């Protein structure tokens, strides 16, 4: 039986389990430079054959969305990230760098990159008809609204190859007032284009990462747990490749989704913050530390960041 602890071949990468660290903004990179605390934080959560996704990382000064989020566009930032990546690799782990725009992470020792096309940021603003009011070839029809994302994917794949590129989308979400009138249609259209792109390239992207939100105001009135599950199942069945799901999963729900074949990988956020040894705790069904929400976005390099206790 397949479950969270079953091995998985993700393209050219061999994973020993299916519990993934979700990309989580933590605001600990003072002045945009990863500090030693980041090396400790990611190292704590690394496991042999486990996949981590970095917090959203900017590729230029104009892309900064919050104070003290990391960048990857100066020599100092690049050298700092190398230390983080080396700490993860030393434990046998893998890390993909999540970029808010297309960028140059492949040259900084990361195993791959995740293009952030979700949660109301730049690419998502092109995808959603609730905010995209352009009248050129990037606005209007759903075909046009998907154009920006696909052009970015094509450009990045041309540089580092499709087997090191992943994409995150959130067609149902309404983060920062970005919403779409028909999120299912949007999600299926993006997936159709990704499938076609993969066939044309003859190689698959590393994975598609889809957020399952809790609140989804739309004409389709999606909102109950059953309706959310059916929505995600529809996208999963449509996508021809590795499907990662995110959105408030417990161990039990993650197990069920993987066992039922509704996702290949599950990314965990808040409970991974408070449990650096989350994979081990899951394996032995140990109790979890409670997270302290008030410390999620402070700039303290220790409190609420690297001081959550391990089980042993």
What is the per-residue pLDDT across 251-287, written as a single tens digit (0 to 9) for each? 999 999 999 999 999 999 999 999 999 999 999 999 9
CA distance 281 to 65: 34
The pTM is what? 0.94
**Known active-site residue 138:** no
Reply yes or no on whether the pLDDT at 65 is more than 80: no
Question: Residue 228: is its pLDDT beyond 60?
Answer: yes
Q: Which long-range contacts (CB under 8 A, 24 or more apart) does 269-276 make?
A: 269/22, 269/24, 272/21, 272/22, 272/24, 272/45, 273/24, 273/26, 273/304, 273/308, 274/308, 275/308, 276/44, 276/45, 276/308, 276/310
Compute the average pLDDT of residues 119-124.
91
Which among 135, 134, 136, 209 is positioned nearest to 173, based on CA atoms? 209
pLDDT at 182: 96
Residue 213 has pLDDT above 90, yes or no: no
pLDDT of amino acid 7: 98
Q: Examine the pLDDT at 150 and tell me if it is beyond 50.
A: yes
Q: Which of 14-18, 43-47, 138-142, 173-177 has the lowest mean pLDDT?
A: 173-177
**Which pLDDT band holds residue 156 (cuts at 50, 70, 90)?**
very high
Specify the pLDDT at position 63.
Answer: 65
| For residues 7-13, average pLDDT | 97
Percentage of the chain with pLDDT > 90? 85
What does the pLDDT look like over 94-110, one tens digit per residue? Answer: 999 999 753 446 656 89
Quick check: 298 and 290 in contact, CB under 8 A?
no
Q: pLDDT by residue (tens digit) across 182-201?
A: 999 999 999 999 999 999 99
What confidence tier does 218 reach under pLDDT thresholds 50, 70, 90? very low
Mean pLDDT (the chain) is 92
**Average pLDDT, integer, range 162-170:** 97
The Cα 92–Cα 200 span in angstroms is 33
Catalytic entry in 121, 207, 268, 308 = 121
Rounded-to-integer distance, Cα 39 and Cα 127, Å? 34
- What pLDDT sits at residue 162? 95
Considering only residues 105 and 155, tell me which one the structure prediction assigns the higher pLDDT. Answer: 155
Backbone angles phi, psi at 114, to 5 degrees: -115, 120
Q: Which two tokens stand for residue 62?
A: 């104009």
pLDDT at 221 over 50: no
Per-residue pLDDT band at 298 (split at 50, 70, 90): very high
Q: Is the pLDDT of residue 215 over 60?
A: no
pLDDT digits (tens, 9 = 90+) for 17-64: 999 999 999 999 999 999 999 999 999 999 999 999 999 999 887 767
More confident residue, 292 or 63: 292
């Amino acid at each position: 039986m397949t479950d969270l602890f079953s091995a998985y071949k993700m393209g050219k990468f061999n994973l020993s389990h299916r519990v993934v660290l979700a990309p989580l903004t933590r605001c600990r990179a003072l002045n945009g430079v990863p500090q030693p605390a980041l090396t400790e934080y990611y190292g704590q959560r690394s496991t042999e054959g486990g996949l981590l996704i970095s917090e959203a990382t900017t590729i230029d000064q104009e892309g900064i969305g919050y104070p003290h989020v990391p960048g990857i566009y100066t020599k100092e930032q690049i050298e700092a990230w190398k230390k983080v990546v080396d700490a993860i690799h030393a434990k046998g782990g893998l890390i993909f760098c999540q970029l808010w725009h297309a960028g140059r992470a492949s040259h900084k020792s990361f195993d791959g990159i995740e293009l952030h096309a979700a949660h109301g940021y730049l690419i998502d603003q092109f995808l959603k008809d609730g905010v995209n009011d352009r009248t050129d070839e990037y606005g209007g029809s759903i075909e046009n609204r998907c154009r920006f994302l696909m052009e970015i994917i094509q450009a990045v794949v041309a540089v580092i190859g499709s087997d090191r590129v992943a994409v995150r989308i959130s067609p149902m979400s309404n983060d920062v007032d970005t919403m779409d009138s028909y999120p299912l249609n949007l999600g299926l259209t993006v997936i159709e284009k990704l499938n076609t792109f993969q066939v044309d390239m003859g190689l698959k992207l590393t994975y598609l990462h889809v957020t399952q939100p809790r609140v989804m105001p739309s004409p389709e009135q999606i909102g109950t747990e059953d309706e959310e599950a059916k929505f995600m199942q529809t996208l999963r069945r449509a996508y021809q490749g590795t499907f990662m799901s995110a959105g408030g999963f417990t161990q039990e729900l993650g197990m069920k989704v993987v066992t039922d074949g509704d996702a290949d990988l599950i990314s965990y956020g808040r409970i991974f913050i408070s449990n650096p040894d989350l994979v081990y705790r899951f394996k032995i069904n140990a109790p979890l530390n409670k997270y302290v929400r008030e410390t999620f976005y402070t700039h303290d390099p220790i409190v609420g960041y690297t001081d959550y206790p391990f089980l042993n």
